[in-house]
Amino acid sequence: MPSTLKSLVQSRHPLISIETRDEEHAIELVREIAKELSRPLFEWSMTAGMRQLDKKGTWQSVAMQTGKTLKVFTPIAGSDEEPEGSKTKLIKKAVDALTVVVEVSNSAMYVFKDLGPHAKDAHVQRLLRDAASLPETRRSTVILVDSGSLPDDVRQLAVPYDIGWPSLEELEQVVKQTFSRIRKDSLQEITSTLTRREMDHLVQTLRGLTRTEAERVVASVIFQDFSLSGEDLPAVLDAKRSLLGSAGSLESIAIDFTIEDVGGFENLKAWLRQRRGGFSKKAREFGLVPPRGILMLGVPGCGKSLCAKAVAADWGMPLLRLDPGVLYNKFIGESERQMRDALAQAEAMAPVILWIDEIEKAFASASGGSADGGLSKRMFGSLLSWMQDHRHPIFLVATANDISALPPELMRKGRFDEVFFVDLPTSEARMNILSIHLVRRERDPAQFDLVQLAEASNGFNGAELEQAILGAMYGAYQEGCQLEDRHIVEEMSKTRPLSVLMSERITELRDWACDRCVSAD
């Protein structure tokens, strides 16, 4: 059984680190434990200096007299100024606060908020080591609450404690408490028309946010129209998207189309249709193994990325993109930590579609003698074991243009449910893609000779077909007439498709894929 924070404190671990974005919740936990164990609680932050929690539950500034005596006093009129004429000195600096920890024996709990940037200082590091090696009888507990900036040396000194992500029940509590608090404080009448299903949906949508973030998102949608209803769900999703967009290496992607907007891919579409609902309780009860993921390998510009979005749209699940490029960090150990965090966050947000675009770019050097000191190999290893072990409803969609650059372990049976090869579109698929893009530009496909256009675009990928229509529209606009077949044919004749420019590579790719992959179309 994993240790609880309380048991770590009780067993007198001198140094505990809690790395989290949810500082408020971490402090709340520590407060509860200090109360339960009747231990004095001190808190240090760069802005407020050192403070002690008094019996009434308010933080009072702490002053030092001779360097060893701690004196607590109430700030005058709410200010943190030292009283005039006083011989005491407020403890503002990290070094002074840690000196108190080392020199005063009071079995207290000390929380340090965001010590990370200060912990690069040699004096601070020395004091932390001293605090960690005090004899047990003199020991206090130092808890470092940090959002991830602790230097590795310090991280290794401390016992890590993971406060985890809020569960669905906790998130529901957050929604209810936020609603009640706003209703109590507001002069305006606040209403809620959330049904049980909408509440479940809302709580699912809040997954992956900290308690504090979830509270803010819920409060912001309530304040928009002084009510909480099913209609707020898109706004909650947007707020979450913007919050996550600014944090970490997972990006939440808006889905603005359906699987019908993707031309071709008949095989893949049928495969996806069959597995839709594979995460449901009913499917589990039937004995189905939930789908784990697909790898899409193929010719550039043929719609692989589009497919990742289409799966999310078709299965009604949020889409998260993991950009492995942003995981790499110049500090040793940081990249692996970021990768673990990203995967943990995806787990917290599950059910989700997790999309890793151009997977070969991130992990390519894992296949050969890498120039990055084995980092990409280790990162790749973590990803593989995660893929194998996780039990969350996460469907992984990985896309790649160049499979030869990928380590062969990725292709081993059991990692992905299927490896699809995305080839250049067939003539029928080209007709389909052309009509999709004509409709998107408010043109009626029936007015065009799609058979002729498909013939004129042999060897084109989806992106080039779209470009041909866009270019043709400019031509028609310049002539001052409606878009016609001839404009599109002319634009096509001017295009040198990638399949010509890269013909050798595409042949190679096809040869490689023919007996290893399933055709997407």
Interaction site with ligand ATP (CB under 6 A): 262-264, 300-306, 399, 401, 433, 436, 462-463, 466
Contact 248, 341 (CB under 8 A): yes
If the CB atoms of residues 306 and 339 are measured against ligand ATP, the closer one turns out to be: 306
Helices (H), 158-232: 168-185, 196-206, 211-225
CA–CA gap between residue 161 and residue 3 (Å, rounded) = 8
Q: How many other C-beta atoms are found inside a 10 Å radius of the C-beta of residue 411?
A: 15
Written as six digits, the tokens of 1 are: 């059984």
Q: How far is the C-alpha of 300 from the C-alpha of 506, rounded, in Å?
A: 10
Measure the CA–CA gap between 63 and 288, rounded to whole angstroms: 64
Work out how close the CB of 307 gets to ligand ATP at its nearest, in angstroms, rounded to a whole number. 7
Residue 182 Cβ vs ligand ATP, minimum distance, rounded to whole Å: 41
Q: Are 322 and 329 spatial neighbours (Cβ–Cβ below 8 Å)?
A: no
Q: Closer CB to ligand ATP, residue 14 or residue 462?
A: 462
Element (H, E) at 238: helix 233-245
Nearer to ligand ATP, 275 or 309 (CB): 309
* CB nearer ligand ATP, residue 61 or residue 461: 461
Query: Which CB sits closer to ligand ATP, 61 or 457?
Result: 457
Torsion, CA 143, CA 148, CA 153, CA 157, rounded to 10: 30
Cβ at position 256, least distance to ligand ATP in Å = 11
Question: Sign of dihedral through CA atoms 259, 264, 270, 272?
Answer: negative
Cβ closer to ligand ATP: 70 or 453? 453
| Rounded-to-integer distance, Cα 511 and Cα 88, Å | 80
Q: How far is the CB of 466 from ligand ATP (least distance, A)?
A: 5
Length of the chain equals 521
Provide, rounded to whole angstroms, the least separation between the CB of residue 410 and ligand ATP.
17
143, 110 contact by CB (below 8 A): yes
Q: Rounded to the nearest whole angstrom, what is the least distance from the CB of residue 393 to ligand ATP in the complex?
A: 25
In sequence order, which residues have a C-beta less than 8 Å from that of residue 482 and are 6 or more positions away?
476
Measured from the CB atom, the residue of 112 and 460 that comes closer to ligand ATP is: 460
| Residue closer to ligand ATP, measured from CB, 436 or 472 | 436
Measured from the CB atom, the residue of 179 and 315 that comes closer to ligand ATP is: 315
The least CB distance from residue 267 to ligand ATP, in Å, is 13
* Neighbour count for residue 277 (Cβ, 10 Å): 14
C-beta nearest to ligand ATP: residue: 462
One-letter amino acid identity for 411? M
Find out whether the peptide bond into 351 is cis, omega within 30 degrees of 0.
Answer: yes
Q: How far is CA 6 from the centre of its chain?
A: 29
Task: Measure the CA–CA gap between 454 and 300, rounded to whole angstroms.
Answer: 19
> Residue 142 and residue 162: Cα distance in Å, rounded?
16
Q: What is the 3-state secondary structure (H, E, C) of 331-349?
A: CCCHHHHHHHHHHHHHHHH
CB of residue 7 to ligand ATP, shortest distance in Å: 49
Instruction: Select 25 or 304, whichever has its Cβ closest to ligand ATP.
Output: 304
DSSP string across 498-513: HHHHTHHHHHHHHHHH
Which pair of structure tokens corresponds to residue 286? 């039937």
Nearer to ligand ATP, 218 or 353 (CB): 353
Q: Cβ 420 to ligand ATP, closest distance in Å?
A: 12
Output the smallest distance, CB 226 to ligand ATP, in A. Answer: 40
Describe the crossing of helices 375-389 and 334-349 by its angle, rounded to 10 degrees: 20
CB of 171 to ligand ATP, least distance (A): 34
CB of 429 to ligand ATP, least distance (A): 7
State both tokens at 328.
Answer: 């790499």
Nearer residue to ligand ATP within complex by CB, 278 or 462: 462
